[in-house]
Structure 1
Amino acid sequence: MEKLALVVAFLLLASLFQPLTGRDLEIDVFQLDVAQSGCPGVTKHQWPELLGVPAILAKQIIQKENPKLTNVPNVLNGSPVTLDFRCDRVRLFVNVLDIVVQTPVVT
């Protein structure tokens, strides 16, 4: 019975960690390109301080800091997205509780 409890505890803890995938690495490389390209009128390109914040609040903060960012959709983490670049878009990758789980970046 004790082993079963340890296995269950391990599985619960393991489910909290997000696996590192090739897709995550691709996004990190893409973020560097976005920051260097610059968009006219957009003064801030990423918001690391919004990790763990509810999506509604994160969207309000982003649009308050940069009114030119009019397209701020919520995307369930792990969902496929297009790789086209738009200066008016910041995707909020959220979990099932609608909490931001990746750094929002102009994409």
Structure 2
Amino acid sequence: MKKLALVVAFLLLASLFQPLTARNLEIDVFQLDVAQSGCPGVTKNQWPELLGVPANFAKQTIQKENPKITDVPYVLNGSPVTLDFRCDRVRLFVNVLDIVVQTPRVT
């Protein structure tokens, strides 16, 4: 039982440090401009100010700022995702505590 408590404590502490390291390691493979994306009505394509905030708050903010965004799934950081582009989707990459660890953007 003591080992389980230590493992849980370690995982919680590790997840708290993940947002700090994710900011430094985030690499943009390509930058997609809203005007070039062909997404009518999308006025904003990324939200760097939502990095490190709870996922529920980030989802509400994105949908309030841009009603054209209807699909905002939570994705555990490091999980595989499809590479298709959709104008109505913003993926929220979160850690185990549902904290956003990558800049949300239209994908």
Q: Using structure 2 for the length normalisation, give the TM-score.
A: 0.74
Q: Is the partner of 2:42 in helix, strand or coil?
A: coil
Counterpart Cα distance in 1 of 2:45 and 2:65: 11
1:51 correspondence with 2:51: yes
Corresponding residue for residue 90 of structure 2: 90
Q: Which has the higher contact order (CA 8 A, sep 6+)?
A: 2
Q: Offset at 1:29?
A: 2.1
- One-letter amino acid matched to 2:32: D
Q: Offset at 1:37?
A: 1.9
Residue correspondence of structure 1 range 1-107 to structure 2 within 5 A? 16=17, 17-18=21-22, 20=25, 25=27, 28-30=28-30, 32-33=31-32, 35=34, 36-107=36-107
Q: Is the partner of 1:98 in helix, strand or coil?
A: coil
- One-letter amino acid matched to 1:33: L
Higher gyration radius (CA):
1
**Structure 2 residue runs without a partner (length 5+):** 1-12
Task: Give identity over the alignment, percent.
Answer: 78
**Structure 1 residue runs without a partner (length 5+):** 1-11
Is the Cα–Cα contact under 8 Å of residues 77 and 101 in structure 1 kept in the other structure?
yes
Is the Cα–Cα contact under 8 Å of residues 34 and 106 in structure 1 kept in the other structure?
no
Q: Offset at 1:39?
A: 1.0
Q: Using structure 1 for the length normalisation, give the TM-score.
A: 0.74
- One-letter amino acid matched to 1:99: I
RMSD over equivalenced CA pairs, Å: 2.2
